[in-house]
């Protein structure tokens, strides 16, 4: 398991632990009162760390929704003074969607900056689920015509002709 996936798994476990805190304990912390906001923030983080770990967006969305539903069932079955709230699940899904959108915007910006030479290249994951072109990462070996020491980008070589 890569370090990124380990971090993503730890984040998921932290969300589960946070959602398992007894309801009476939550009332004593005034900072934790906006429950829906915390659900959304937890699932924004869920989406971001799992995308950063290289998991496909659809897999993150489906597993995130399943996890959100599981948490509500989990809270309803444990004797911890918590209850299932469909609005919590809705906040989780909104957080997932916002996290996936944020990851996509960041991925596009990073890919654009890497192409323009204004940002260091993002290394490809060791076990990419898709091709490098669709993940926005580039290989560790820079093309011969692009020198990292020059400040101005070199012209691209001509593309081969198709017959």
Contact 100, 47 (CB under 8 A): yes
153: alpha, beta or left? (left if phi > 0; alpha if psi -120 to 50): beta
Residues 6+ apart with CB under 8 A from 120: 114
| Residue 5 to residue 52: CA distance in whole angstroms | 8
Q: What pLDDT shows up at residue 130?
A: 54
Q: What pLDDT shows up at residue 129?
A: 54
Q: What pLDDT shows up at residue 110?
A: 87
| Residue 84 to residue 72: CA distance in whole angstroms | 5
Stated pTM of the model: 0.58
SS3 at position 123: strand
| Residue 18 to residue 130: CA distance in whole angstroms | 33
| Residue 50 to residue 44: CA distance in whole angstroms | 10
Q: What pLDDT shows up at residue 36?
A: 84
Residue extents of the structural domains in the chain: 3-20+34-125
Q: Look at residues 85, 13, 86, 12 and name the one whose alpha carbon lies nearest to residue 43.
A: 12
Structure tokens at 13: 């476990």
- The CA angle 130-134-136, to the nearest 5 degrees, is 115
Instruction: From first to last of the 163 residues of the chain, give the pLDDT tens digit.
Output: 688 888 777 878 877 777 776 665 455 443 345 778 888 999 999 999 999 999 999 999 999 999 999 999 988 888 877 788 888 899 899 999 999 999 999 999 888 888 877 655 555 555 555 554 555 555 444 444 444 444 555 555 666 666 5
């Amino acid at each position: 398991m890569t370090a990124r996936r380990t971090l993503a798994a730890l984040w998921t476990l932290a969300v589960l632990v946070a959602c398992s805190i007894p309801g009476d304990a939550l009332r004593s912390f005034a900072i934790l009162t906006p429950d829906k906001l915390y659900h959304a923030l937890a699932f924004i983080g869920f989406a971001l760390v799992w995308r950063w770990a290289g998991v496909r967006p659809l897999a993150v969305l489906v597993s995130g929704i399943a996890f959100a539903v599981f948490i509500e069932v989990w809270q309803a079955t444990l004797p911890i003074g918590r209850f299932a709230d469909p609005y919590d699940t809705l906040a989780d899904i909104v957080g997932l969607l916002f996290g996936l959108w944020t990851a996509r915007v960041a991925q596009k910006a990073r890919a654009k900056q890497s192409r323009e030479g204004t940002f260091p290249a993002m290394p490809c994951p060791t076990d990419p689920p898709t091709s490098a072109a669709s993940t926005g990462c580039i290989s560790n070996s820079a093309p011969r015509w692009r020198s990292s020491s020059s400040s101005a980008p070199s012209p691209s070589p001509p593309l081969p002709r198709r017959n």
